[in-house]
Structure 1
Amino acid sequence: MFTQPTYNGNTIDQYALLAKQLDALLEDETDNIANLSNASALLNQFLHTINWCGFYLYKNEELLLGPFQGLPACVHIAMGRGVCGTAAANQETLVVANVHQFPGHIACDAASQSEIVVPIIIEGNLFGVLDIDSPINNRFSTDDREGIEQFVHVLTKHLSL
């Protein structure tokens, strides 16, 4: 019988260090794509038990696939559709313990079981979302949510509309 691995999560202190690493990594770089690419690579290295980590950018009133780490993904996501589109439309973080129970979930990777999506807001405008998937149900804790939101806050200092 298969038992799902358990994951103890990263601590707020570890996330604070990650945010500092991100800030230093992106210092003096002004290219959005370069900064998003390095941010997704850093998160992918830091987070355990995830299978996709990346960005969807708000363009032409939809979300368009941006830099990511993982398997090929959906390219276009309508606002309000799936976890990413809903988080973007409501401009609020969504943590979904079981994506198969989320109405309208878009299954880009059948292995994904849980997801966190954090909107990226710059000067009051939607820039896009950070999307992280895991093959484990209920993977993302309150500490993960706070830490990933802190990561996005630091990232926004290195992005422009």
Structure 2
Amino acid sequence: MYRILRTQLQGLTDGVHHVTANLANASALLNQALDKINWVGFYLLEKDTLVLGPFQGKPACIEIKVGNGVCGTAVAEDSVMLVKNVHEFPGHIACDSASNSEIVIPLHNAAGEIVGVLDIDSPHLARFDEDDKTGLTAFAKVLERIFA
């Protein structure tokens, strides 16, 4: 499934130089394809704060400081965060109390600097696994081309 999603994303973003439009389409694509999720979207890095970008789902937190919550930790550590139970994550920020698991993938520009994150939440515990981590990381690599 993730290979197909990467191909679709490539088709949607090729030749399109509008970051917001590309992120909006990427979130819509993932929202249609992934089951058992309740939020998918992006936060973009502005200095030491992640700011809400395009997404699919309920209204969300607007700003998250680097180092705070799952998204901020992903940026601080520059690593994918796969959290099976967000209620056990120290400092978890509950934008939607229905969310129980989460995966966050840092996004980089051509220079390797973090520019934001892809964030996906689920109302199910342990919704995300290593296959999701691998597939979504590869999906994010295709998307990173828009930050060149």
Same fold (TM over 0.5): yes
Correspondent of 2:41 among 39, 54, 65: 54
Give yes or no for the alignment of 1:81 onto 2:68: yes
Quick check: 2:108–2:147 contact (8 Å CA) kept in 1? Answer: no
- Which whole-Å CA distance do the structure 2 matches of 1:117 and 1:60 have between them? 19
Residue in 2 aligned with 1:129? 117
Q: What is the CA-CA distance between 1:27 and the residue it aligns to?
A: 1.1
Task: Choose 58-67 or 109-118, whichever is displaced more.
Answer: 58-67
Q: Give the 5 Å matches for 1:6-25.
A: 14-25=1-12
Correspondent of 1:146 among 134, 138, 145: 134
Q: What is the CA-CA distance between 1:49 and the residue it aligns to?
A: 0.4
Q: Identity of paired residues, percent?
A: 54
- Which whole-Å CA distance do the structure 1 matches of 2:38 and 2:69 have between them? 18
Q: What is the CA-CA distance between 1:158 and the residue it aligns to?
A: 2.4
Q: Which has the larger radius of gyration?
A: 1
Residue in 2 aligned with 1:97? 84
Q: Could you tell me the TM-score, scaled by structure 2's length? A: 0.97
Secondary structure of residue in 2 paired with 1:155: helix
CA-based RMSD of the aligned residues comes to: 0.7
Residue in 2 aligned with 1:112? 99
Secondary structure of residue in 2 paired with 1:77: strand
Q: Point out 4+ residue stretches in structure 1 off by more than 3 angstroms.
A: none
Q: What is the CA-CA distance between 1:60 and the residue it aligns to?
A: 2.6
Residue identity matched to 1:27: D
Q: What residue ranges of structure 2 are gaps of 5+ in the alignment?
A: none
Q: What residue ranges of structure 1 are gaps of 5+ in the alignment?
A: 1-13
Give yes or no for the alignment of 1:69 onto 2:56: yes
- Which whole-Å CA distance do the structure 2 matches of 1:146 and 1:84 have between them? 18
Quick check: 1:43–1:53 contact (8 Å CA) kept in 2? Answer: yes
Q: What is the CA-CA distance between 1:71 and the residue it aligns to?
A: 0.2
Secondary structure of residue in 2 paired with 1:57: strand
Q: What is the CA-CA distance between 1:79 and the residue it aligns to?
A: 0.5
